[in-house]
């Protein structure tokens, strides 16, 4: 160990300064205990970043450990930059989802853009070529002018970044609900394709190997971004605008090409994005994974402004930078590859045998931590968990006690209201701003149940989708967690894909509040149940806590990013009705559960009742039947029945493709004695609307599985949707 | 026949063009590096889509100064075929290979959609396998696709049959609704005076596969084969 002295001019460490760095008194004592002395200002900065919620997962780690993470085809589970699964033919898919909520709440354009940039880098540092972007967005009501500013800024930020880098944005979801008024959620997912032999991990190895900073130069932007992401939003958040990074997609595209070339070249042993907490976390994490020591000299870091202190260089979150461990003697070759792409590479440190994490400024040691304890010794908490009695009371309320509005005598009125609710209505305004066809793999783009991308050189395709219904999770986090996974699985299955694995982005409030931590624990438990039943392990993800503003926490929103595999291109199935005169079937029950429905929220302005039940075994059976039917060629279209229930699902099957609008005649008279609104707008789970040229064959597939419905009278027809057999003969059209 | 596809920094449709040539046409394709002065014996040069130099300053404004553009200009001057798609069209205009300019879309948003274009002139080396008046489906994906030119230039283009594609609806009607970017006279693509440089905003290289929704772009590439071979 070396002597570490405070730098001249550094602030004195006071309790106030410690608090400003987001460390509790106990955490500071833990740090002092680890060092055996008081930390320097630089060391305090390093620890404040690494022990922030965003980097350390200190409140979530024990709970996350309960999730299933393995399957025969999982090549890389949680703990790396991205998860990786094998899809056969020597190919693999790398994918990951991440949040950029707090930056987007303050500066929507850059916040969203850099969210896209960060997740792209997480995928290409695995050696994968990004092939698709997805997103999952939550905003308050569009009636609010600030919400419209946030929404349009986020959409433009996502589009401008992804479009320039040339990665198609193919799917996503956008939900509007007052619960997200001052704290929007902006989650971005990236999917990449790689040859299995190109898989590389961010693990520093080889004593004497040089550590190199490549890509953009380091500036003062984004300092403390990770800590900013780990606290509640407040009136003062606007003042933290300088903590938000600024993205440059042009540099990202060059960095993408250069990085993939570097990985192929064999000149490097590890590569990691300098993302949250920048140089600090990338170097500390690579050292910890490789179980080696590192030393870094900040004066050798290429900077874009002069006079930057070690503290600033270590904590900058300037974008489009990578940390690379090169093979000793190959530094020149690395520089040549970067120079080809007009980027710089500089040796800033090396891998050492001494088990320390050391930072120097020239010859002076400005920070030093023993071994990998900087990462491994971070605190871990198991906060109290207790359900909010308010929410339990909301769940206990009976939706059928809500009186119908007079207009509801005409179900067509209700259906129109639901179809024009922003959460259900077409999202073309947003996705027309995203290039969805570049790279020429997009078979099904935005607007379907899931996006489908062909895998060039094979007869396969992958299906991808993000999904979550935060309202369900709010009313019952266990059930809501199950549904998030089950619905994402159903979505990819509707395209003909076998659900393979998930990544997740867990957006919750302040975990130190027992009612929030209860939601977190329960939702993760529900997700785990569904993942185990459906055989879709978790390969990684991101936790975003402290999504609170003075008006309260957001709905607990565990967004699921699902990847599925289609074995044969001929199995690709679309959501909209495809062939005239086909029969229409509902696979699954009528159910009629209205709790937590879009109907209650939109028509009655209320969020009450128990969310629909979710039997994960039954979900599995449904997916098996659906896939078998698709593979047998009996299915012409398949669409998940979700927000807005059966009526909305049927309407979407008719109109979602404006080029080929169709109609349908549905006769429900012999099937149910439920109320009209329960049949039409109930959101019972485990249901898929299919059109079929051979309905008898579908019904034969699995006699044990109850297909409760509903051969149509006239099948797919023109232009109008007729639903018959309702009480009082309602005829929406 | 050999197609040379220029890769500028942040070109991102070079790969799609490459695969359209190799996989769909079955012809030879090679990437041409922007810093080089060598067309590697290419018979046809493609300036692909993307965001060359981040579209900073102005779309195509920096790319035109790339070393390779000197060779591309010489190739065009000698009558060699040059196909500029999207950003490539913008670069061709900036480089003076085509008249006019491409401005920010009138609605000020990026637009990604499948559009229809009407073939206005089927007697060019890029369109000889189409019929005049035929309606093609192709994707567009651009923020700066609004074609503008002085009235005199527009008149000249019209008079000489150099407006090659116009945005249209399914019935072939030229209307504002069918125009994704507000371009003058619904112009989607034009050709040079010599008939050997075609620029268009829609992406023919993305319309070469039934699986992906359209094969209408393939015949544009095949047209070049027919003509240049003959």
> Average pLDDT for residues A65-72, to the nearest whole number?
96
Task: Give the model's confidence band at A374: pLDDT under 50 very low, under 70 low, under 90 confident, else very high.
Answer: confident
Q: Which of A341, A433, A438 sits opposite B16 (nearest CB)?
A: A438
> Average pLDDT for residues A144-154, to the nearest whole number?
96
Is the pLDDT at A297 greater than 70, yes or no? yes
Of A713 and A629, more confident? A629
Residue B133, sorted as left (phi over 0), alpha (psi -120 to 50) or beta, turns out to be left
Q: Which of B55, B141, B209 sits opposite A438 (nearest CB)?
A: B141
- Per-residue burial over A575-610, b if 16 or more Cβ lie within 10 Å, else e, is bbbbeeebbbbbbbbbbbbbbbbbbbbbbbeebbbb
Of residues A21, A59, A100, A571, which has the active-site annotation? A100
Output the pLDDT for position A9.
86
B55 contacts in A (CB within 8 Å)?
A: 164
Is the pLDDT at A551 greater than 50, yes or no? yes
Contact in structure between A733 and A722 (CB atoms under 8 Å): yes
Query: Distance between CA A85 and CA A74 in Å, rounded?
Result: 4
> Average pLDDT for residues B50-60, to the nearest whole number?
93
Output the pLDDT for position A372.
77
Of residues B34, B94, B203, B208, which has the active-site annotation? B203
Sign, CA torsion A453/A455/A457/A460: negative
Q: Nearest residue of B to residue A159 by CA position?
A: B110
Mean pLDDT, chain A, integer: 91
Angle between helices A249-265 and A145-165 (to 10 degrees): 40
Output the pLDDT for position A227.
66
* Residue A560 bridge partners (DSSP): A467, A504
Is the pLDDT at A519 greater than 70, yes or no? yes
A112 contacts in B (CB within 8 Å)?
A: none
Is the pLDDT at A646 greater than 70, yes or no? yes
Of residues B13, B75, B86, B94, which has the active-site annotation? B86
Tens-digit pLDDT profile for residues A185-195: 999 999 999 99
Query: Distance between CA A72 and CA A164 in Å, rounded?
Result: 36
Q: Count how many Cα atoms sit within 13 Å of the Cα of residue A376 in the half-sphere of its side chain.
A: 13
- Torsion from C-alpha of A597, A603, A608, A613, nearest 10 degrees: -20
Q: What percent of chain B has pLDDT over 70?
A: 98
Range of lowest pLDDT (A339-353, A588-602, A667-681, B40-54): A667-681
Subunit contact A431:B139, Cβ cutoff 8 A: no
Instruction: Report H helices in A456-605.
Output: 470-475, 477-494, 514-534, 598-604
Task: Give the model's confidence band at B228: pLDDT under 50 very low, under 70 low, under 90 confident, else very high.
Answer: low
Interface test with B, best of A437, A455, A569, A574 (most B CBs within 10 A): A437
Output the pLDDT for position B140.
98
Q: Which two tokens stand for residue A196?
A: 């299995």
Interface test with B, best of A157, A158, A319, A435 (most B CBs within 10 A): A435
> Average pLDDT for residues A422-430, to the nearest whole number?
94
* Residue A84 bridge partners (DSSP): A76, A94
B58 contacts in A (CB within 8 Å)?
A: none
Query: Distance between CA A644 and CA A414 in Å, rounded?
Result: 10
A454 contacts in B (CB within 8 Å)?
A: 211-212
Is the pLDDT at A183 greater than 60, yes or no? yes
B86 is catalytic: yes
Q: Is A66 exposed, middle or buried (0-12, 13-18, 19+ CB in 10 A)?
A: exposed
Of A239 and A512, more confident? A512
* Residue A174 bridge partners (DSSP): A137
Interface of A with B (CB under 8 A): 156, 159-160, 163-166, 248-251, 253-254, 341-342, 431-443, 454, 456, 569
Subunit contact A442:B212, Cβ cutoff 8 A: yes
Task: Give the model's confidence band at A731: pLDDT under 50 very low, under 70 low, under 90 confident, else very high.
Answer: very low
Output the pLDDT for position A224.
72
Interface of B with A (CB under 8 A): 9-10, 12-13, 15-16, 19-20, 49-51, 53-56, 109-113, 139, 141, 143, 203, 205-206, 208-209, 211-212
Is the pLDDT at A669 greater than 80, yes or no? no
Task: Give the model's confidence band at A502: pLDDT under 50 very low, under 70 low, under 90 confident, else very high.
Answer: very high
Output the pLDDT for position A727.
47
Name the pTM for this structure: 0.95
Of A304 and A371, more confident? A304
Distances from the Cα of A371 to the Cαs of A287, A292, A376, in angstroms? Answer: 9, 8, 9
Subunit contact B205:A440, Cβ cutoff 8 A: yes
Subunit contact A440:B51, Cβ cutoff 8 A: no
Mean pLDDT, chain B, integer: 96
Output the pLDDT for position A240.
62
Task: Give the model's confidence band at A717: pLDDT under 50 very low, under 70 low, under 90 confident, else very high.
Answer: low
Q: Please choose, from the candidates A322, A305, A319, the residue with its C-alpha nearest in 3D space to the C-alpha of residue A110.
A: A319
Is the pLDDT at A716 greater than 60, yes or no? no
Output the pLDDT for position A220.
87
Tens-digit pLDDT profile for residues B139-195: 999 999 999 999 999 999 999 999 999 999 999 999 999 999 999 999 999 999 999
Tens-digit pLDDT profile for residues B107-140: 999 999 999 999 999 999 999 999 999 999 999 9
Tens-digit pLDDT profile for residues A262-286: 999 999 999 999 987 889 989 988 8
Which positions ≥6 away from B75 have C-beta within 8 Å?
Answer: B39, B42, B45, B82
Q: Model ipTM?
A: 0.96
Other residues' Cβ atoms within 10 Å of the Cβ of residue B160? 12
Output the pLDDT for position A89.
95
> Average pLDDT for residues A163-192, to the nearest whole number?
96
Got the DSSP string for B5-20? EEE-TTB-SHHHHHHI
Task: Give the model's confidence band at A630: pLDDT under 50 very low, under 70 low, under 90 confident, else very high.
Answer: very high
Is the pLDDT at A157 greater than 80, yes or no? yes
Output the pLDDT for position A706.
55
Q: Count how many Cα atoms sit within 13 Å of the Cα of residue A463 in the half-sphere of its side chain.
A: 27
Output the pLDDT for position A668.
74
Subunit contact A250:B109, Cβ cutoff 8 A: no
Query: Distance between CA A636 and CA B71 in Å, rounded?
Result: 52
- Classify A209 as helix, strand or coil: coil
Output the pLDDT for position A591.
83
Subunit contact A166:B50, Cβ cutoff 8 A: yes
B16 contacts in A (CB within 8 Å)?
A: 438-440
Q: Nearest residue of B to residue A170 by CA position?
A: B112
Query: Distance between CA B212 and CA A703 in Å, rounded?
Result: 36
Subunit contact B212:A454, Cβ cutoff 8 A: yes
> Average pLDDT for residues A410-422, to the nearest whole number?
94
Per 3-state DSSP, chain A is made up of helix, strand and coil in percentages (nearest 5) of 40, 25, 40
A250 contacts in B (CB within 8 Å)?
A: 9-10, 51, 53-54, 56
A54 is catalytic: yes
């Amino acid at each position: 160990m070396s002597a570490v002295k405070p730098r001249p001019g550094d602030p004195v460490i006071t309790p106030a300064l410690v608090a400003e760095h987001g460390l509790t008194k106990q955490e500071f004592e833990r740090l002092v205990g680890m060092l055996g002395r008081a930390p320097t200002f630089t060391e305090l900065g390093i620890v404040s970043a690494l022990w922030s919620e965003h980097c350390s997962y200190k409140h979530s780690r024990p709970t996350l450990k309960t999730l299933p993470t393995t399957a025969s085809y999982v090549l890389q589970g949680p703990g790396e930059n991205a998860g990786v699964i094998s899809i056969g033919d020597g190919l693999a898919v790398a994918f990951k989802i991440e949040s950029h909520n707090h930056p987007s709440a303050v500066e929507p354009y850059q916040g969203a853009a850099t969210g896209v940039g960060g997740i792209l880098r997480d995928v290409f540092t695995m050696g994968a070529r990004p092939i698709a972007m997805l997103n999952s967005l939550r905003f308050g009501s569009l009636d609010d002018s600030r919400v419209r500013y946030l929404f349009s800024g986020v959409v433009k930020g996502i589009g401008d970044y992804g479009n320039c880098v040339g990665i198609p944005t193919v799917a996503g979801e956008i939900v509007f609900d007052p619960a997200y008024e001052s704290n929007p959620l902006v989650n971005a997912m990236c999917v990449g394709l790689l040859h299995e032999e190109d898989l590389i991990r961010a693990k520093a190895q080889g004593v004497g190997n040089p550590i190199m900073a490549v890509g953009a130069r380091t500036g003062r932007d984004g300092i403390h971004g990770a800590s900013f992401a780990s606290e509640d939003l407040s009136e003062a958040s606007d003042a933290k605008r300088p903590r938000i990074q600024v993205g440059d997609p042009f540099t990202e595209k060059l960095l993408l090409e250069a990085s993939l070339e570097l990985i192929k070249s064999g000149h490097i042993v590890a590569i990691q994005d300098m993302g949250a907490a920048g140089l600090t976390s990338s170097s500390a994490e690579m050292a910890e994974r490789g179980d080696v020591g590192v030393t870094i000299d900040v004066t050798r870091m290429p900077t874009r402004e002069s006079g930057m202190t070690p503290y600033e260089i270590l904590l900058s979150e300037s974008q489009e930078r990578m940390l690379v461990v090169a093979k000793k003697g190959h530094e020149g070759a690395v520089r040549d590859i970067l120079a080809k792409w007009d980027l710089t590479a500089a040796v800033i440190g090396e891998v050492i045998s001494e088990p320390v994490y050391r930072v120097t400024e020239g010859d002076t040691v400005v920070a030093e931590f023993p071994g990998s304890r900087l990462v491994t010794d971070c605190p871990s908490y198991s906060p109290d968990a207790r359900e909010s009695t308010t929410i339990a009371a909301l769940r206990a309320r009976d939706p059928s006690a809500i009186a119908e509005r007079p207009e509801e005598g005409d179900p067509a009125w209700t259906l129109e209201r639901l179809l024009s609710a922003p959460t259900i209505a077409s999202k073309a305004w947003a996705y027309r701003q995203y290039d969805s066809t570049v790279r020429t793999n997009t078979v099904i783009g935005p607007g379907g149940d899931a996006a489908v991308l062909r895998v060039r050189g094979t007869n396969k395709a992958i299906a991808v989708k993000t999904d979550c219904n935060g309202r369900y999770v709010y009313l019952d986090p266990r059930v809501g967690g199950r549904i998030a996974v089950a619905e994402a699985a159903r979505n990819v299955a509707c395209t003909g894909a076998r659900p393979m694995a998930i990544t997740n982005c867990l957006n919750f409030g302040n975990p130190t509040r027992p009612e929030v931590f209860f939601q977190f624990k329960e939702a993760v438990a529900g997700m785990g149940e569904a993942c185990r039943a459906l055989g879709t392990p978790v390969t990684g993800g991101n936790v975003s806590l402290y999504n609170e503003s003075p008006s309260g926490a957001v709905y607990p929103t565990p967004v699921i990013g699902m990847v599925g595999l289609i074995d044969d291109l001929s199995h690709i199935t679309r959501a909209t009705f495809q062939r005239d005169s086909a029969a229409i079937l509902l696979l699954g029950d009528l159910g009629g559960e209205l709790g937590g429905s879009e109907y209650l929220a939109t028509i009655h302005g209320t969020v009450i009742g128990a969310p629909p039940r979710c039997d994960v075994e039954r979900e599995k059976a449904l997916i098996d039947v659906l896939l078998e039917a698709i593979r047998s060629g009996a299915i012409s279209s398949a669409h998940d029945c979700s927000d807005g229930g059966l009526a909305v699902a049927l309407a979407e099957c008719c109109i979602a493709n404006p080029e080929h609008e169709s109609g349908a005649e549905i006769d429900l008279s012999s099937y149910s004695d439920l109320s009209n609104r329960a049949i039409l707008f109930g959101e019972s789970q485990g249901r898929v609307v299919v059109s079929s040229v051979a309905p008898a064959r579908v019904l034969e597939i699995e006699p044990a599985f109850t297909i409760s419905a509903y051969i149509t009278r006239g099948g797919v027809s023109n232009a109008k949707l007729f639903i018959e057999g309702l009480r009082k003969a309602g005829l929406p059209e | 026949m050999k197609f040379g596809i220029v890769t500028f920094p942040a070109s991102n449709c070079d790969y799609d063009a490459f695969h359209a040539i190799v996989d769909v046409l079955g012809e030879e394709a090679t990437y041409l590096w922007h810093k080089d002065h060598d067309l590697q014996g290419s018979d046809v040069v493609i300036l692909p889509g993307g965001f060359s130099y981040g579209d900073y300053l102005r779309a195509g404004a920096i790319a035109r100064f790339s070393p390779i553009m000197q060779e591309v200009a010489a190739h065009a001057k000698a009558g060699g075929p040059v196909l500029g798609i999207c950003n490539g069209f913008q670069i061709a205009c900036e480089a003076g290979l085509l008249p006019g300019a491409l401005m920010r879309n009138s609605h000020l948003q990026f637009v990604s959609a499948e559009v229809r274009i009407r073939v206005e002139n089927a007697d060019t080396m890029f369109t000889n396998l189409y019929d005049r008046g035929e309606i093609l489906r192709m994707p567009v994906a651009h923020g700066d696709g609004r074609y503008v030119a002085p009235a005199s230039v527009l008149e000249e283009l019209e008079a000489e049959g150099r407006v090659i594609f116009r945005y249209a609806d399914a019935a072939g009607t030229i209307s504002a609704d069918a125009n994704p970017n507000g371009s003058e006279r619904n112009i989607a693509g034009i050709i040079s005076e010599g008939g050997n440089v075609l620029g268009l905003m829609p992406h023919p290289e993305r319309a070469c596969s039934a699986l992906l929704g359209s094969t209408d772009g393939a015949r544009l590439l095949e047209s070049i084969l027919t003509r240049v071979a003959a």
